[in-house]
Amino acid sequence: MKWKLKKFIVKILRMNNTPHEIALGIAIGVFIGILPVYGFHTILFLIAIATIRRVNKIAVLAGTNISLPPTVPIITWTAYDIGRIVFWGKYDPLTWSDFKNISFASIRSRYLPLFVGSLILGALCAVFFYYLVYFVTKRIMKKRADAKREHHERKKV
């Protein structure tokens, strides 16, 4: 698992994108991944990569994977609670039994605070991941450039 992740990161970094383009891709993907548009994440991904020219497309796809099965309950719960705050507690809090006994009617009755909360949570997470990925990518690229320059200087001597 660790080796595959490292190969994936190296592949992204070798695509000749700037740290901004990679970080923007992750941020857009994270925003899309947090939205509660179940079954439409791929369509939003395709729209994003078709309309935004200077972005790392693999990074967008990687960012959408924030909503994997282990994280979906956490994202959903957090987004719903943010939505409840926005709507001044007008909606009942979620419970574990809500997740166990999920139905279309229960989703529909709570979708508005979930969607609004997801927009806010998605925006916050997108900003966080943008800066995190930007600075990490910039640092990695600088180290690689320094190592390359040092290697060429040794060859000259």
Each residue's pLDDT tens digit, 64-109: 999 988 998 899 999 999 999 999 989 999 888 887 888 888 889 9
> With contact defined as beta carbons under 8 Å apart, do 114 and 84 qualify?
no
**pLDDT band at residue 63 using 50, 70 and 90 as cut-offs:** very high
Mention every residue, 6+ apart, whose C-beta is less than 8 A from residue 58. 11, 12, 15, 25
Note whether residue 147 is domain-resident: yes
Least confident of 20-24, 42-46, 150-154: 150-154
Quote the pLDDT of residue 13.
66
Domain hosting residue 71, numbered range: 12-156
d(C-alpha 85, C-alpha 83), whole Å: 5
Per the CB < 8 A criterion, the answer to whether 115 and 83 are in contact is yes
Domain count, the chain: 1
Is 22 within a domain? yes
Q: Closest Cα partner for 130 from 138, 120, 140, 118? A: 138
First-to-final CA distance of the chain: 40
For residue 125, being part of any structural domain is answered with: yes
Q: Is residue 1 part of a domain?
A: no
Q: Are 30 and 123 in contact (CB under 8 A)?
A: no
How much is the pTM?
Answer: 0.85
Nearest CA to 34 out of 154, 92, 115, 145 is that of 115
